[in-house]
Structure 1
């Protein structure tokens, strides 16, 4: 089967951060398109129902829901997921990195106790950026990627702009984009693409943890030429479209899904 004649139905999507926001919306969209979903999420009792709702919707679409409530940045989690996919003879069409677990603290504060620590900064970079590389390595070495596979990583305009307390995450997003560029070139001979998706400001649980989140949401709604905020479904539809056959020449990019938001001050 050639890349042009490949189909997404019956293949797998591995979604890191599958229980809410962009990951949850994309899991649902790809499931409706016939893809089996392997979701990795980390939820405690209070937020577990949202993961269970995603699982129910995936199964209602008539495909397999293989979900792990574990730390996606843990090597043991990767090992377990890879083994489970191998046992199912899965062919991974899509890997989506949508992990939003990091420290939101200033680099500099008059009170040293309020500054980001080395441990916090390194954790943020490891979870929100470096973990992408380790997942790609493990899936590649296990031979799990399907022909014409696609890798997507969620970035933001914050990768190149400053917002109070966002420094550690901004650094992680910048590193994530660098990882995508490198992966795009190194994976090109294997017909695997890698792109970063830059969503506009979106009302998600992760967004709402940013200091000044409400101000950011209100400003984005005024600023966006479309007159509204970006939604997780906007991103999910874009990823579904970019996962289709015939689009394997799009790689190494930061693709904005924001209604033109980044074009205006």
Structure 2
């Protein structure tokens, strides 16, 4: 059965930039209401507030929370507000697009300085908790509140880095692999409820998160050249896919890692 986005409610974790921002805009353009969580200071917080205003100008409701999405207190506050806002409609789409983790090597370079920094246990645990485990906790709390119902969709943003090695990407690579495993488990456990859960593997995209990776500019140019479309993935490509995937109540498409990369990985 085809379901309209108009009038639905979505929860976007990481709403202020990159994929989260593009998805929120695409949903609002189709009449979907958005609850967003972001973690910004100063100029970033001001830009997020302006973005929420832009969404409201389309005629939808947009409620943003500038809070740490990995915090228990944040989940408690936002889920409580979602109960008040979404009412009987529940949350149609949960998007996990959090890019906050450590970009440090596991071992020092043989040719590097003696005091070269490597990832420590706290940084590794934080990266896994924010970029992977937090999706499980949000899902649990939304289920407990009765907000995830038959036809709901859960998406987590992964990358080809879950199976590839990039400089200093080890902690994030581990988090992406864990995220995919979490989504497979959620897909199996939530199938009887008619709720779908999938990982979305976006192609190389020029987002703030990519820019933090060492040598990302050179890597992006290699990916651009090998993509059959001769361009990089854009956040709007992912947003369009989420809208299309979310217009069905079916939960039969679940437990997958869905590539949204224009064929980039075909020539890797």
What TM bracket, shorter-length normalisation? over 0.9
SS of 1:24's equivalent?
A: helix
What TM-score, normalized by structure 2, do the two folds share? 0.95
CA contact (8 A) 1:20 1:50 kept: no
CA contact (8 A) 1:27 1:54 kept: no
SS of 1:194's equivalent?
A: strand
Give how far 1:113 is off: 5.0
Separation in structure 1 between the aligned mates of residue 225 and residue 77 of structure 2, nearest angstrom: 45
1:74 equivalent in alignment to 2:77? no
**Structure 1 stretches lacking a partner, 5+ long:** none
Separation in structure 1 between the aligned mates of residue 191 and residue 54 of structure 2, nearest angstrom: 34
User: Across the two proteins, how many residue pairs are aligned to each other?
Assistant: 262
Name 1:236's counterpart in structure 2: 239
List 4+ stretches of structure 1 deviating above 6 A. none
CA contact (8 A) 1:16 1:97 kept: yes
Give how far 1:6 is off: 4.0
Question: Structure 1 147/9 Cα, relative in aligned 2: closer, same or farther at 3 Å?
Answer: farther
1:10 equivalent in alignment to 2:13? no
Separation in structure 1 between the aligned mates of residue 47 and residue 220 of structure 2, nearest angstrom: 23
Residue of 7, 17, 27 corresponding to 1:20: 17
SS of 2:70's equivalent?
A: coil
Separation in structure 1 between the aligned mates of residue 118 and residue 169 of structure 2, nearest angstrom: 12
Residue of 18, 34, 39 corresponding to 1:37: 34
Separation in structure 1 between the aligned mates of residue 210 and residue 2 of structure 2, nearest angstrom: 38
SS of 1:7's equivalent?
A: coil
Separation in structure 2 between the aligned mates of residue 259 and residue 5 of structure 1, nearest angstrom: 25
CA contact (8 A) 1:104 1:167 kept: yes
Which residues in structure 2 correspond to 1:158-173 (within 5 Å)?
158-173=161-176
Separation in structure 2 between the aligned mates of residue 72 and residue 227 of structure 1, nearest angstrom: 35
Name 2:99's counterpart in structure 1: 100
Separation in structure 2 between the aligned mates of residue 25 and residue 246 of structure 1, nearest angstrom: 22
Name 1:87's counterpart in structure 2: 84
Separation in structure 1 between the aligned mates of residue 115 and residue 12 of structure 2, nearest angstrom: 37
1:221 equivalent in alignment to 2:224? yes
Separation in structure 2 between the aligned mates of residue 189 and residue 201 of structure 1, nearest angstrom: 34
Cα RMSD (Å) of the superposition? Answer: 1.2
**Structure 2 stretches lacking a partner, 5+ long:** none
